[in-house]
Amino acid sequence: MKKVFVILLAVFEINLLANSSVLSRVPLPQEVFIKFDMRDCDISCDDKIEEDQIIIFTDDGSKSQVLTNKNGQTENLYYDKIIQKDENVFLKHNGNPQVRLALIIPQKNIHRYATTVTNSVISYLMAKNAQFEIKVFNIGNEDPLSLRIAFENVKKLRFKVAIAPLTPKGADFTAKNISDLLIFIPTINANFIQNPPQNIIFGGISYQKQIDLLSRYANEKIATFSDGSNLGERLNIIASRNNNIAYSNKITNSKVNLKYMLKGNKRLNNASIFLNMPLVKSSLLASQLRVYDVYPYSLLSTQINYHPMLLSLTQYQDRKKLYIANSISPSPLNIRATNALFGHTIVYDWVNYATNVGLDYLYANYFSQGEPRIFKEMISSNQIIYNTSILKSSRHGFYLQGE
């Protein structure tokens, strides 16, 4: 009896302590940014630099390079700096840059790509260990005057090559008015431009090619959903060119109640549904079809929904019939690593991937002629030609259709 009493008393004391409102004495967590500073690399260190370098960026914007041998073992470490001369100029050279490059950035039009395209350019050149000077011309928007002034300033500063992530509007103006610069536009496919000029290389993926491939997994009953954006409507037009559309609708708000679109909608049952919307809205629709007893023949999506977040936003059962077109091929480890250290990916983001591919072509054919190319995509009629494949998703990732 005494033993039972002692045990009950102990349990009572534990519960009492658990319910106590006394504040814990454990200190709050703190963020600490560790600075791994090292001495500048001297001549003897430079002599030891080899291939297969993995680049690491430290907190002060400096660059460290970890050298690895063929077995993947670390052999040496040296330290170098990128000099940010001002907020728009990035330098890494000893007075004679191998690469002089202008970036035309309409920040208000391309939003986050203003940063990621710039970082993609820097990371590629760092991975190549190139000597470079990059000048960023942040023009705000794509009105004709801003573009004309920017390109005039590029020429005044004697830049011969420019990268310009533009929308169709800005690309159309550039194609019609700028003929004396070599320009790479990573965001637009040449099909968007009438009579594309020879001085512009286009890096945009071909949505026409992607939809043509997706159509192999469709039946004759086609439905489309878009978000009302220019891209969404363009994808609707492409999907409807050779098909009779049984149903089409727009989801302009991710908080919309889909019951009125889906419940009892016979036009969606056994239909091939094109998801011409961004990730969140496409995931929302895919997850609600089964809720309202809609069973499609297939779900079809272009590049816009190729993202690992799709795996967490949808259940596996909701995407079993989903086919995704993808034009991003595997990239070398050092290129992926340097891009990742800037906080973005070229594995899932086609604009960042296109920027690397286009710069790789310029580097091998203009800045360092004869240099072997890293990426395998060819250029035809001034357009990057991507290898497009169809992917399906498992419970934990993506795989090639047919594997």
**Cα angle 238-239-242, degrees, rounded to a multiple of 5:** 90
Q: Using one digit for the tens of pLDDT, what is the confidence trace for 40-99? A: 444 333 333 333 333 334 344 444 444 343 444 433 333 344 554 455 677 776 667 789
DSSP-derived 3-state class of residue 379: strand
CATH value at residue 130 = 3.40.50.2300
Residues 254 and 226 in one domain: yes
How many domains does the chain divide into? 2
Cα R_g (the chain), whole angstroms: 27
Residues 315, 181 share a domain: no
Give me the pLDDT at residue 98, please: 87
Distance CA 311, CA 396 (A): 7
Tell me if 251 is assigned to some domain: yes
What's the average model confidence in pLDDT over 19-40? 45
Residue 1 lies in a domain: no
- State the average pLDDT for the chain: 82
* Mean pLDDT of all residues in 162-174: 96
Asked if residue 94 is part of any domain, the answer here is yes
Whether 225 and 249 have beta carbons less than 8 Å apart is answered as yes
Return the closest-CA partner of residue 35 out of 62, 58, 55.
Answer: 58
Q: Looking at the predicted structure, is the pLDDT value of residue 376 above 60? A: yes
Q: Are residues 182 and 75 in the same domain?
A: yes
In terms of domains, do 293 and 158 share one?
A: no
Residue carrying structure tokens 């011309």? 137
DSSP 286-310: HHHHTTTT---SEEEE-GGG-STHH
User: Once rounded to an integer, what is the mean pLDDT over residues 357-384?
Assistant: 95
C-alpha distances in Å from residue 376, one per residue of 124, 187, 230: 15, 19, 31
- Average pLDDT on 154-173 reads 96
Give the domain extent around 375.
53-206+330-385
